[in-house]
């Protein structure tokens, strides 16, 4: 055989992951990782951030335009769209961000918040949020009386001090 017959032609330049996949599939003659692509597309379809990003793109808005309208930092918009809750404040605040973002995009905010709640709790159980700022579950963030025992103790101490002061004044 001649060298020219055994030489492999260089691959055309590809700029994106999808183009690389097409090149590999054309060389193999069959699709690759179909299950992975289906699973990834299902995950993204159920992702609150993906829904927000898709709606933003459908309206032709940039991250900067959305961040200016919502008065949020672009990094917060990106974190919401990537479902990266560790980069955001507490869960209650994230729900407010999602509500405002969905309203801007004219989406059903309740449905997206439900998706967020499920996703947040799954990530919390998996430990993905344990090292970030979010150390509370959604149930804990909605509990406004979690510090009640410490307030009660402080109140009792103040009352005891006032009683002691009144008793001291009576003696003198």
Per-residue pLDDT of the chain (172 residues; tens, 9 = 90+): 555 555 545 544 444 445 555 665 666 665 555 554 565 555 555 689 999 999 999 999 999 999 999 999 999 999 999 999 989 999 999 999 999 999 999 999 999 999 999 888 888 888 766 544 444 444 444 444 445 567 777 778 888 888 888 888 888 7
pLDDT value at position 134?
44
Distance of CA 127 to the CA centre of its chain: 14
pLDDT value at position 136?
46
pLDDT value at position 152?
79
pLDDT value at position 119?
87
pLDDT value at position 164?
84
Question: Among all chains, which residue has been given the structure tokens 């509370």?
Answer: 136
pTM exceeding the 0.75 threshold for the entire prediction: no
pLDDT value at position 101?
95
Give the up-direction half-sphere exposure of residue 52: CA atoms within 13 A in the CB hemisphere: 30
pLDDT value at position 16?
45
pLDDT value at position 149?
65
Long-range contacts of 66-74 (CB under 8 A, 24+ apart): 66/101, 66/104, 69/104, 70/97, 70/100, 70/101, 70/104, 72/97
C-alpha to C-alpha distance for 68 and 47, rounded to whole angstroms: 24
80 class by beta-carbon count within 10 Å (0-12 exposed, 13-18 middle, 19+ buried): buried
Question: Among all chains, which residue has been given the structure tokens 């995950």?
Answer: 43
pLDDT value at position 92?
93
């Amino acid at each position: 055989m001649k060298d020219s017959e055994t030489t492999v032609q260089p691959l055309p330049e590809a700029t994106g992951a999808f183009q690389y996949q097409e090149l590999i599939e054309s060389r193999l003659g069959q699709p690759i990782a179909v299950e992975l692509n289906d699973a990834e597309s299902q995950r993204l379809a159920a992702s609150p951030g993906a829904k927000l990003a898709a709606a933003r793109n459908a309206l032709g808005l940039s991250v900067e335009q959305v961040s200016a309208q919502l008065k949020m930092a672009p990094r917060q918009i990106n974190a919401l769209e990537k479902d990266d809750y560790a980069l955001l404040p507490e869960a209650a605040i994230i729900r407010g961000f999602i509500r405002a973002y969905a309203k801007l995009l004219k989406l059903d905010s309740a449905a997206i918040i439900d998706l967020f709640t499920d996703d947040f709790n799954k990530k919390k159980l998996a430990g993905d949020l344990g090292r970030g700022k979010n150390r509370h579950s959604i149930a804990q963030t909605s509990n406004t009386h979690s510090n009640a025992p410490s307030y009660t103790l402080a109140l009792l101490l103040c009352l005891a001090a006032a009683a002691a002061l009144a008793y001291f004044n009576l003696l003198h």
